[in-house]
């Protein structure tokens, strides 16, 4: 680690600036060969030896507070920026530097939960990668059956929502009534960052099974009225938290509308991966003073019905639950709880991650679908429920702003449940 530390200092020196590519290449080679414990030591090095100087930051902040002019603000900004940011910028000059930094961040994310003291180092990685991977640098490509085999293999490997069961399954997802689009970055040639799968349909779908059935018949283009985003997968774990999907959804929708002018509806069929976990831990409804009394009472009764069916702790969720055979009162209780979870909790720390993604992108909470995903994964995550989010391209900016202000825009069919 001493050699790595010395190379880092050389790279940041004035002499290193003049010969940065060669030094960065040597350093990158060393870093990528480190074992897990050695990489952790490197992250600790970044935290302890390449952070900002607290004294300089304090002095600059005091000068700015006393006289808040442009010069003092520039000085404060320079003092507050950790030297490790410049170190990573220079490391990025090496051949393969961007891919190497993405790989390092993946390793950092893997230890962050047990090492929260490295959060500032992670924030610097995310800050830089968010700049380097902003929408202006990304290139969208349609993936089809003629795409290189290596790319198709990557699609199969990284499908994170609805697993692709081999080449036959993939071929159906690339038929004329389906689309797959991927985003690429010039510094990672041939490596998709994220991809989205779309079904072109006559109606907004209520279940995932027919969309991913490899034996289903392909529909004629004249029937296309609705474009449904049914899977979005990130291929680069090292880019977690770097916003890519928002731009991809909008660009894909605009591309499809040019290809099929008759398309009027753009929606998703999305999982609710956090629902069962939330149901187990949503606590005492009587203590929820933020809810209207009548709604609080109804939610409490609904939750009590679940406990009577699955046990007081809900530990048996989902057990052998079969949505198709559920009694009406249990279905009503679950749909009410799901509507509250998506329509109210999405602006809190308890939010479902998929809901936060789409609602934050300016979608509307449109419809909750019963028995929409009866796979083992679907039952485990959400007792088979799925949801449609609606993207109105003319309304997404306003809805995004409303979500940022703490409001979830929901269709009437959702608000009526509450």
Which residues partner with 56 through β-bridges?
Answer: none
Closest CA to 354 of 282, 249, 283: 249
**270 given a catalytic annotation:** yes
Range list of H helices, 35-165: 36-49, 54-66, 70-80, 83-91, 97-112, 119-132, 149-158
The percentage of residues in the chain with a pLDDT greater than 70, rounded to a whole number, is 98
| Contact (Cβ atoms closer than 8 angstroms) between residue 7 and residue 23 | yes
The pLDDT profile of the chain, 418 residues, written as one tens digit per residue, is 888 999 999 999 866 566 789 999 999 999 999 999 999 999 999 999 999 999 999 999 999 999 999 999 999 999 999 999 999 999 999 999 999 999 999 999 999 999 999 999 999 999 999 999 987 888 999 999 999 999 999 999 999 899 999 999 999 999 999 999 999 999 998 899 999 999 999 999 999 999 999 999 999 999 999 999 999 998 999 998 887 766 678 889 999 999 999 999 999 999 999 999 999 988 788 888 888 999 999 999 999 999 998 988 888 888 889 999 999 999 999 999 999 999 999 999 999 999 999 999 999 999 999 999 999 999 999 999 999 999 998 898 899 999 999 999 999 999 988 8
What phi, psi does 194 have (nearest 5°)?
A: -160, 150
Which is the catalytic residue, given 20, 231, 233, 270? 270
Q: Is 195 helix (H, G, I), strand (E, B) or coil?
A: strand
What letters, b where the CB count within 10 A reaches 16 and e where it falls short, cover 136-174?
eebebeebeeebeeebbebbeebbebbebeeeebbebbb
Distance separating alpha carbons of residues 338 and 380, to the nearest angstrom: 15
Which is the catalytic residue, given 185, 309, 340, 358? 358
Residue 240 backbone zone (phi > 0: left; psi -120 to 50: alpha; other: beta): beta
Distance separating alpha carbons of residues 180 and 196, to the nearest angstrom: 6
| Contact (Cβ atoms closer than 8 angstroms) between residue 70 and residue 77 | no
What phi, psi does 86 have (nearest 5°)?
A: -65, -35
Tokens 């490391």 correspond to 91
Which residues partner with 142 through β-bridges?
Answer: 181
Distance separating alpha carbons of residues 295 and 302, to the nearest angstrom: 10
Per-residue pLDDT tens over the stretch 119-144: 999 999 999 999 999 878 889 999 99
| Contact (Cβ atoms closer than 8 angstroms) between residue 98 and residue 132 | yes
Distance separating alpha carbons of residues 152 and 145, to the nearest angstrom: 8
Q: Which domains does the chain have, with CATH numbers?
A: 2-132 (1.20.140.90), 136-268 (3.40.630.180), 275-415 (3.40.630.150)
Residue 291 backbone zone (phi > 0: left; psi -120 to 50: alpha; other: beta): beta
The DSSP output letter for 278 is H
> How far apart are the two ends of the chain, measured CA to CA in Å?
58
Residue 45 CB coordination number (10 Å): 17
Q: Is 184 helix (H, G, I), strand (E, B) or coil?
A: strand
**203 given a catalytic annotation:** no
Range list of H helices, 261-292: 275-281
Global confidence as pTM: 0.87
| Contact (Cβ atoms closer than 8 angstroms) between residue 100 and residue 31 | yes
| Contact (Cβ atoms closer than 8 angstroms) between residue 211 and residue 230 | yes
């Amino acid at each position: 680690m001493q050699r790595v530390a010395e190379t880092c200092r050389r790279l940041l020196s004035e002499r290193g600036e003049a010969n940065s590519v060669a030094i960065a290449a040597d350093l990158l080679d060393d870093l990528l060969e480190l074992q897990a414990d050695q990489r952790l030591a490197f992250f600790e090095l970044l935290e302890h030896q390449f952070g900002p100087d607290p004294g300089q930051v304090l002095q600059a902040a005091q000068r700015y507070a006393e006289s808040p002019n442009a010069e003092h603000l520039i000085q404060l900004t320079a003092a507050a920026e950790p030297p490790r940011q410049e170190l990573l910028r220079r490391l990025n000059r090496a051949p393969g530097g961007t891919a190497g930094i993405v790989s390092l961040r993946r390793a950092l994310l893997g230890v962050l939960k047990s090492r929260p003291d490295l959060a500032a180092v992670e924030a610097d990685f995310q800050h830089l990668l968010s700049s380097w991977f902003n929408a202006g640098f990304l290139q969208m490509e349609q993936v089809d059956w003629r795409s290189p085999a290596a790319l198709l293999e990557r699609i199969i490997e990284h499908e994170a929502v609805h697993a692709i069961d081999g080449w036959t399954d993939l071929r159906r997802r690339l038929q004329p009534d389906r689309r797959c689009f991927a985003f690429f970055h010039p510094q990672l040639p041939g490596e998709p960052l994220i991809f989205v799968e779309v079904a072109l349909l006559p109606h907004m779908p209520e279940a995932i099974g027919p969309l991913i059935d490899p034996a289903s018949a392909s529909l004629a283009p004249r029937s296309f009225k609705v474009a449904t985003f049914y899977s979005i997968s990130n291929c680069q774990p090292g880019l977690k938290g770097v916003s890519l999907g928002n731009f991809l959804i909008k660009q894909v929708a605009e591309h499809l509308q040019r290809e099929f002018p008759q398309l009027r509806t753009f929606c998703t069929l999305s999982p609710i991966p956090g629902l069962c976990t939330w149901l187990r831990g949503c606590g005492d409804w009587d203590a929820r003073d933020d809810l209207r009394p009548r709604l609080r009472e109804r939610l409490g009764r609904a939750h009590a019905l679940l406990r009577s069916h699955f046990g007081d702790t809900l530990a048996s969720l989902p057990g052998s639950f079969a949505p198709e055979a559920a009694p009406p009162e249990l279905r009503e209780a679950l749909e009410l709880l799901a509507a509250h979870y998506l329509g109210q909790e999405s602006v809190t720390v308890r939010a479902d991650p998929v809901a936060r993604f789409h609602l934050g992108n300016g979608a509307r909470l449109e419809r909750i679908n019963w028995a929409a995903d009866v796979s083992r994964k679907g039952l485990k995550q959400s007792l088979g429920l799925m949801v449609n989010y609606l993207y109105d391209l003319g309304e997404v900016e306003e809805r995004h702003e409303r979500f940022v202000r703490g409001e979830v825009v929901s269709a009437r069919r959702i608000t009526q449940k509450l």
